Amino acid sequence: MDYLKRYRKMIALRGLTDHTITAYSTYIKAYLEYVKKINKFPSQVSYNDMRRFIDDLQVTRLLSDRTINCVIAQLRFFTIYVMHKPWDSTQLPQRKFDTYLPYVPSQEDAITFISTFKDLKPKAMTSLLYGSGLRIGECCSLHYDDIERNNLRIHIRHSKNRSDRYAILSENSLDILTQYWFAYGKPKGFLFPKQHNADKAIDTFYLSKHIHAHEAELGWDHKLTCHSFRHAFGTHLYENGADLFTIKELLGHKSLSSTVIYVHLAAVSTKKAISPFDSKGGEKHV
């Protein structure tokens, strides 16, 4: 049996995208190679073997505990839906991991970073990440017709949560986008097509590469990612007075719990609060 092919078929039945299927298959492929290496068939693998695979994977690939949990979830799916065997979660428990707040550039730094781009393509893409709070995949997949200039909004098709939504379109982003559109041949399909294949969207790593290069040009520390600008969008909206429900809808979050992070990231929430040690009856005291 081609176990990897069977696994991919089973997860495809969940309606996942090709990109997600590929991502989910990565460690199962490594697992099957490991099983072959120890001269066993998948049906003969014990939980001890799985634990050794996890340990080996973490050492050789330096994976975080969060990623290890993803691997365990993939092994669980493989065991249940491909091998048709029960899964005992006490044998491979999910790991606890530390949660860190992501880096968010200030409004001034975000604007400086975008405005100093020389190349209009990464400049336009980054302006959409910050000006509209798009995910990098959503930005890469944009079509010409998704940009509603008169309404100043962007139609996001089939987002991460498999639902359409509208994002706001910044007037500054629209100006940059218009300059890009004329400079890059007026694309009418994908707004950011692949360089040698206009029928396909640009790869996500294109912008990551340009962001890192631009940091170096500016002499900045390497802190920014594509997602930093989406976080900055949500954080700065909250700092400017937008409520969490509005931010949730604009970002396309499925749950409000995903949006609450911007309360922690925003500087305004801690600046407005007064320690009870410094106040009495609403007034500051010494």
Give the catalytic positions in this structure. 135, 160, 227, 230, 253, 262
Which run of H or E residues covers position 110?
A: helix 107-115
Q: Are 65 and 95 in contact (CB under 8 A)?
A: yes
Query: CA 131 to CA 117: how far, in whole Å?
Result: 15
Q: Which residue has the tokens 């092994």?
A: 75
Q: Are 190 and 141 in contact (CB under 8 A)?
A: yes
Closest-CA residue to 251 (of 152, 260, 112): 260
Query: CA 77 to CA 56: how far, in whole Å?
Result: 20
Among positive and negative, which fits the CA dihedral 237, 239, 242, 246?
A: positive
Report the SS3 class of residue 190.
strand
